[in-house]
Structure 1
């Protein structure tokens, strides 16, 4: 795969993360997550975003953990009524993850 194609895939992962980040408002319910505050979760997302922009696989792994079944993003999406969007985003992330990890 060409470098441009790989760069585009990383950018697509970042776009998926940005959509999720836009859902993390001060009013969200974090009850079923291990985060104590919205600020703590936003900080984690920002750290992952930074790693992804550097094409660091650790960022990809951390994001995979957040997208995992019963993971943070799924729990937040169910509690905050955007589960269908989560499913689409998760599916897109899974596809990108598989390509980038090969």
Structure 2
């Protein structure tokens, strides 16, 4: 298990976070920059990839980075709204919230 803030992520939470990151990357790869996001699509993809790679190495990704990406009106939401996948984003953000609540 991976520890995060001295709490452990279960294997199912690790798998779910990885799947969420993959889904975000898939959406982002066909997205354009949002006028409202302080990060461009390429920068967001880099942050998501970084978190995914850290998770794949058996380490906990930075929760501050994850919280930043998934916060309301954060880079992912603004990009999702600009590119027509906001409903999918909201579902993914809800899953992230559920995982974070468990730890």
TM-score tier after normalising by the smaller chain length: 0.7 to 0.9
Moved >4 Å (runs of 4+): none
1:20 pairs with 2:24: yes
The structure in which a higher percent of residues are helix is 1
Deviation at 1:74, TM superposition (A): 0.8
1:61 pairs with 2:79: no
Taking a change above 3 Å as real, the CA distance of residues 26 and 10 of structure 1, as seen in their structure-2 partners, is same
Distance 1:16 1:74 in 2: 14
1:20-39 alignment runs, 5 A limit:
20-25=24-29, 27-35=31-39, 37-39=40-42
Q: 2:81 aligns with which of 78, 83, 99?
A: 78
Deviation at 1:45, TM superposition (A): 1.5
1:49 pairs with 2:52: yes
Pairwise CA RMSD: 1.9
Q: 1:94 aligns with which of 83, 93, 97?
A: 97
Deviation at 1:29, TM superposition (A): 2.6
Deviation at 1:79, TM superposition (A): 0.6
TM-score, normalised relative to structure 2: 0.79
The structure in which a higher percent of residues are strand is 2
The answer (yes or no) to whether the contact 1:26–1:38 under 8 Å persists in 2 is no
TM-score, normalised relative to structure 1: 0.79
| Residue segments in structure 1 that go unaligned for 5+ positions in a row | none
The answer (yes or no) to whether the contact 1:10–1:55 under 8 Å persists in 2 is no
